[in-house]
Structure 1
Amino acid sequence: MQKASLDGGLIGNSAVGALIDPHGNIVWACLPRLDGEPVFCSLLSPPGRDEGAGAFSIVLDDFSHAEQAYERHTAVLHTRLFDRHDGGIEVTDFAPRFQLHGRVFFPAMLVRRVRRLTGNPRVAVRVRPLFQDGELAPSITFGSHHIRLVAPLQTLRLTTNASIHGVLEARFMHVHDTLSFILGPDESLQGGVAETTQRFLDETIAYWQRWVRTIFVPVDWQDEVIRAAITLKLNAFDDTGAIIAAMTTSVPEHPGSGRNWDYRYCWLRDAYFVVNALNRLGATATMERYIGFILNVVSSAEEGVLQPVYGISGEARLTERIAPALAGYREMGPVRIGNQAFEQIQHDVYGSAILAATHMFFDTRLRHRGDENLFRQLEPLGLRALANYHQPDAGLWELRGSQRIHTYSSVLCWAACDRLALIAAHLGLDDSTRIWRESADRIHAEICANAWSPERQAFVASWGGDTLDASLLLLNEFGFLAADDPRFAQTVKAIETELKHGDFIYRYIERDDFGHPENAFMVCTFWYVYALHALGRHNEAHTTFIRLLACCNKQGLLAEDVDPRTGEQWGNFAQTYSMVGLINCALRLSRRWDQAY
């Protein structure tokens, strides 16, 4: 086992996902769904605990080097391992997803295939899941072609055509024929494992390549945008429509920081950015499912009060606890399960929910269009925004030790009222249009009076404050300020002066609950590119974007944070915020198709 890193690839099928490290080890996978038990968790536990504990490893004898790449335009990952004697194997990893009997088949299942490439390679197969947050090794039973991994909360079945005792004993064995492994629920496999693996692989490749052909891509950076779009889709839980912020928990924002959070849940703010980006690409089905999730959450909210984050089935309580058996990423704990942010007050959620639902009224591609009934469902959220735009909250950065009247939250409350006015006008509801437009104008005026700092000559992070934060780069993105409004250019200039360090924009530089941030929050620099482009500073925007692309790992994936000194990625992985930033920048900066040739 190698030192934990974020250099590998992500597989999944919108039901489950897994992180495969550069040497073909499954080091992170939650089953039976995206927020389930981390049965493969070696990403967050020390390699020396037990040999291969918490991982599913294909170990090549006398290993020399490895190569890794995705099957083009799919979520199927190939890892090639070579030994020192010209022997080599290819490990193919995927989670099945394809059309079956008129619907999409996406079981809680991971599939691995090992085939010989050259020479006479020998491999040892080590399947070492851990249950109950790393505390419990399963009991094992087996049959002629399967191994049952039995734990109190779930039992997994590994079906294979490899030697059962060879796998149980992790003995080295020659790879003459292709080896197949299907890991999933404790159910008998219908059909031969090799034939099933091949059929699932062919169908899954075909599914993803067909899906890619349905989305819009810019002329430039097509492969990067496609990889980002696939990654966002992997983070969308098809069963309910929820979109998680990332597949992992507790990868620290910077070494030893204690900023270790569980991101396997649905933040209304993050999810809005995701569906907005996917909509620009034409991936409307994911957006429609998420809007359905939002409406279910809204209908359950008493008096329109929303939490910032929910479980992927809409669960309200995400009580946070520590997993003591897991030492953490590179032994930098704690490892947290759950997220106490569900208890926080974050007033921007009302704007995020209404912004997402606004698509239903104006996008004629959608199957279910917004009507007056839906508008009336959204109005209580607008009333909450109207009541709270000038009230303190934890803000989008989720400060745990203080509350302020955050400018970003106020702007999103304005956006809630502004969009309701636009929707009402679209529906011909004159009285509602007038009421919501007057409300939006009043909020706008108060924000301008209280969040503009004459001393800084810029909008500041909180009303009456004097500090900056990177979310102010989005004032034009939300339509709060026109690009030619001098206050926008002045705010961007102030952020450049204070928050830009090298190539990156920090979200803020002031001390918070955990000290001063040391790494740059990746999406903030993407927001800076948006602002540069809006201001007509296109060359600077292009140069900055190219530097951001260089932060991607070899598989084109981005985490939450980057060390501006080394370029190493930190934070939970793969981060939807970051992948959204990549897509939006590429769409802005690419040449038009009629300029491509």
Structure 2
Amino acid sequence: MRHYPPIADHGMIGDLQTAALVSSDGAIDWFCAPRFDSPSIFAALLDHDRGGSFRISAEHQDARITQLYLPDTAVLVTRFLTAEGVGEVVDFMPVDTPGTATDRHRIFRVMRVVRGSMRFTVECRPRFDYGRATHSLTLGESGRTALFTGPGIDVHLQSSAPLNADNGSDVRGAVTLQAGEFGAVVLTTSTGGGPPPAPLDAAAARSTWQATVRFWHQWLRTSRYRGRWRQTVNRSAITLKLLTYAPTGAPIAAATAGLPEQIGGERNWDYRYTWIRDASLSVKSLIDLGFSDEANSFRRWLAARVTAGATASGGPLQIMYRVDGDPRLSEEILDHLEGYRGSFPVRIGNGAADQLQLDIYGEAAFAIAQVGGVAETAGYEGWQAVVGVLDWLAGAWDQPDEGIWETRGGRQDFTYSRLMSWVAFDRGIRLAREYARPADLDRWTATRDAIFVQVMERGWSEKRRAFVQHYDTDVLDASLLLMPLVGFVAPRDPRWLATLDAIERELVSDSLVYRYDPAASPDGLRGAEGTFTLCTFHYVSALARAGRTDEARYAFEKMLTYANHVGLFAEEIGPTGEQLGNFPQAFTHLSLITAAMALDAALDKTEGLG
């Protein structure tokens, strides 16, 4: 048994309100309830001894293990293959009431044998509140149920396998199944009390499994994508859906907290929140794929944030929020957890929430400006809120900020922040004219033009022949790969092509792309980091738009080989190809979709299909 499986050695299941990671040897080692950002119940991924886990595996020590998703679903299958038999654990979370926040969530773990016989072992050892709280255990009279009672939350366990107390607070069990036989274990969390779950019934478990498969198949039928990488794009779309809190429409950045960007390093952040930047950039991709309901749900959530008023950063928007819009994300260190493979500190909350990052106003305007965006905001009041934001930005854009990467090394005049401020005014002007809405267009136009000139004069380095990270440096920054996507420069503008060449020389390593060089641009943190996967996909998009389709396709296809065994990506790729950082990361899968569509369009044009 491995104490810390590779970060990539997991699949994810979820019910659109929370999610669980399942390692390829059958352990759920990350699960929070009732929401993504709730305290953990299982967190062995951050501390094997103190975090808690829920494991079902073959008792056979020499079993070969494989893992896969049922096609086009979020139903995960872990297979155990031995000479004596082949068994499977099918993991899923039924999507019962996705649009209504609920305190009850269920994890189904169906055991079945398809050849021979197999003995499965069950081990459930919850550790509430990130392992900080104690709990009590009550075994049912039948020996097939258990109730774990923690602070403000109950965990009910129902099992086909007989259960026995282990160490006074955990349970273990085992069951032998023959070919064609089924067993099941269902874990139900509840924070509101109420009656216990209905008795476990194998037929009901199979029916719930089938209903979950139907849900995902029906949802994916909405997709309009018919390009060259349909299976890959479908998996990324499902992943984005799993990482979206359906009651509000707010997508989170990743399912996990505290996973390291460098093994043993301190870059260990909590990503279970909604970043204005990441979520806003997802809107175009969702609409292009045909998922307009999801795009409009987020835009309504965003409109509510825009109308909420001033934030701790001094601006009308905060860079991130909880999924319900709560801006309070106080950061704390969990001293009692050792961190993934000793990567300490483990942080929950996020102290970057109060940073000033001016680019978020551009990404927000980019989202609102998609087809029907004004109609989907809160009517006249919503437009007035948009006007208020842009009027504020007109007086605030020309100041240093912390920038897109949330560095903790001080404020700078970041070129990307100016770029997206230009986007904010460009899209605002378009909206006002297209929908005949009242606005100070003279001021907005003058501001937009002033930003453009400033970026061209101060964000451009003649020495480097490239756009640079901020005005007082010659350091390159991969965030600027978005310049042609948002329309600031043409994809084949000479300055842009020179920048693309410079990024390729300095930040690209075997098609993988670093954000920037932290040695040349100190970010206030110790240690190094891997290449940023989303930047690699941005690089593919930029190559495709520049007409370098052969290079773009090669980089894209190579990048896909870094996906894990079920098609998921973490935030970064390390020096030896290992996945690093929080997992799976929504922004990465968003940028994959964007790259696939840009590359499809470029290839269609090259091949005479478009």
Output the TM-score relative to the length of structure 2. 0.91
| Mapped partners of 2:134, 2:115: distance in 1 | 35
Partner of 1:114: 111
Partner of 1:34: 36
Q: 2:27 aligns with which of 9, 25, 28?
A: 25
Give the superposition deviation at 1:487: 1.1
1:264-285 residue CA offsets vs partner (Å, 9 max, x unmatched): 0011011112232222211111
**For residues 192-203 of structure 1, what are the structure 2 equivalents within 5 Å?**
192-203=200-211
1:251/1:260 contact within 8 Å kept? yes
Partner of 1:133: 130
1:419-454 residue CA offsets vs partner (Å, 9 max, x unmatched): 110001101247644442232122212222221112
Partner of 2:189: 185
Identify the range of structure 1 (377-386 vs 169-178) with the bigger mean alpha-carbon deviation: 169-178
Give the superposition deviation at 1:180: 1.5
Q: Which amino acid counterpart does residue 184 of structure 2 have in structure 1?
A: S
| Mapped partners of 1:384, 1:362: distance in 2 | 21
1:354/1:419 contact within 8 Å kept? yes
Partner of 1:209: 217
Give the superposition deviation at 1:331: 2.2
CA RMSD of aligned residues (A): 2.5
1:338 aligns with 2:381: no
Q: Which amino acid counterpart does residue 340 of structure 1 have in structure 2?
A: G
**For residues 424-503 of structure 1, what are the structure 2 equivalents within 5 Å?**
424-429=432-437, 432-503=440-511
Give the superposition deviation at 1:95: 0.8
Give the superposition deviation at 1:29: 0.9
| Mapped partners of 1:388, 1:582: distance in 2 | 33
Partner of 2:11: 9
Q: Which amino acid counterpart does residue 114 of structure 1 have in structure 2?
A: M
- 5+ unaligned residues in a row in structure 2: which ranges? none
1:472-497 residue CA offsets vs partner (Å, 9 max, x unmatched): 11111111111232111111112122
2:538/2:591 contact within 8 Å kept? yes
1:422/1:433 contact within 8 Å kept? no
Partner of 2:245: 237
**For residues 389-400 of structure 1, what are the structure 2 equivalents within 5 Å?**
389-400=397-408
1:326 aligns with 2:337: yes
Give the superposition deviation at 1:117: 2.2
Task: Look up the SS of the partner of 2:400 in the other structure.
Answer: coil
Change (3 A) 1:408 1:446: same
| Mapped partners of 2:502, 2:171: distance in 1 | 62
- 5+ unaligned residues in a row in structure 1: which ranges? none
Q: Which amino acid counterpart does residue 122 of structure 1 have in structure 2?
A: R
1:412 aligns with 2:420: yes
| Mapped partners of 2:137, 2:342: distance in 1 | 28
* Sequence identity (%): 34
Partner of 1:142: 139
Output the TM-score relative to the length of structure 1. 0.93
Partner of 1:158: 157
Partner of 1:87: 85
| Mapped partners of 1:163, 1:178: distance in 2 | 14
Partner of 1:317: 328
1:308/1:349 contact within 8 Å kept? yes
1:261 aligns with 2:269: yes
Give the superposition deviation at 1:169: 4.9
Change (3 A) 1:213 1:162: same
| Mapped partners of 1:381, 1:584: distance in 2 | 27
Q: 2:52 aligns with which of 48, 51, 54?
A: 54
Change (3 A) 1:288 1:568: same
1:244/1:266 contact within 8 Å kept? yes
1:546 aligns with 2:543: no
Identify the range of structure 1 (303-312 vs 335-344) with the bigger mean alpha-carbon deviation: 303-312
Change (3 A) 1:95 1:360: same
2:333/2:347 contact within 8 Å kept? yes
Task: Look up the SS of the partner of 1:80 in the other structure.
Answer: strand
Change (3 A) 1:172 1:164: closer
Change (3 A) 1:140 1:247: same
Q: State the number of aligned residues.
A: 587
1:281 aligns with 2:285: no
Give the superposition deviation at 1:517: 3.1
Change (3 A) 1:44 1:103: closer
Q: Which amino acid counterpart does residue 125 of structure 2 have in structure 1?
A: R
2:570/2:581 contact within 8 Å kept? yes
Task: Look up the SS of the partner of 1:92 in the other structure.
Answer: strand
Task: Look up the SS of the partner of 1:136 in the other structure.
Answer: coil
